[in-house]
Amino acid sequence: MYESEKLEIIAVANEIKRVGLVQLTGGNVSVRKENGDIIVTPSGMPYETMTPDQVLVLNKDGQIIEGTLRPSVDTVALKYIYDNRPDINAIIHTHQPYATAVGLVTDEMPACCTTLCNVCLGAVPVAPYSAAASEEMGISTVKYIGDKRAVILKHHGVIAVGPTLHDAEAAAIYMEDAAKCYLAARAASPTGEVALMSLEQEAEAVNTHKTYGQRH
């Protein structure tokens, strides 16, 4: 069941690890199908050796319908997000260090780079701390994320979302690059102030990206 989706999830999980957004077996990757089924990575399993039969399928009520392993410990939070945001069909949770660091020094990751606006649709909010493996993590995400494709979880990591897994992956990866740029600029600035994009420039970056790639 859902063989191609499972293979895509494993590929994305390995990519976010390759670029340093997670370490060891941290984080999780999931998608939601049209019928409400949720396909999610298992808890505490290495991505490098993960096979499709280890990726779990849950129905819309959160019951396991395929797989024998335990799903991600954050599944209760993931389900809350899917239940309350019908426009979100993919979620990636990471512990990416630079974006997480931004959440320790500000309440919003500002629009400092075009790529952040391209894929996250503007400045990224920071949500208050919530414990891992808790529904509160999902509640906080829904409350703070708004129309953006990512939210920083203070003291924890990032939730990146999208209508597709590719969109969520792009949000997580480009956000980390923007976070590096933002923190470097703050460190280099004698006053700590950083030049930010205007609201008009943000909107232009968001709209321009809609024509990017081979879309029909």
CATH number of the structural domain spanning residue 185 = 3.40.225.10
Q: For residue 88, tell me if it sits in a domain.
A: yes
* pLDDT number for residue 197: 96
Q: For residue 194, tell me if it sits in a domain.
A: yes
Contact in structure between 88 and 32 (CB atoms under 8 Å): yes
* pLDDT number for residue 72: 98
Q: For residue 215, tell me if it sits in a domain.
A: no
* pLDDT number for residue 189: 96
The side-by-side arrangement of strands in the sheet containing 64-66 is 64-66, 56-58, 38-40, 28-32, 90-94, 157-162, 150-153, 124-127, 108-109
Other beta carbons within 10 Å of 173: 21
Q: For residue 216, tell me if it sits in a domain.
A: no
* pLDDT number for residue 125: 98
d(CA 109, CA 99): 8
Q: For residue 161, tell me if it sits in a domain.
A: yes
Which range of residues forms the domain containing residue 25? 3-209
Instruction: Walk along the chain (216 residues) in steps of 10 and give the mean pLDDT of each run.
Output: 97 98 98 98 98 98 97 98 98 98 97 97 97 97 98 98 98 98 97 95 92 76
Radius of gyration over every alpha carbon of the chain, rounded to an integer in angstroms:
17
* pLDDT number for residue 127: 98
For the chain, the domain total comes to 1
Model-level pTM? 0.96
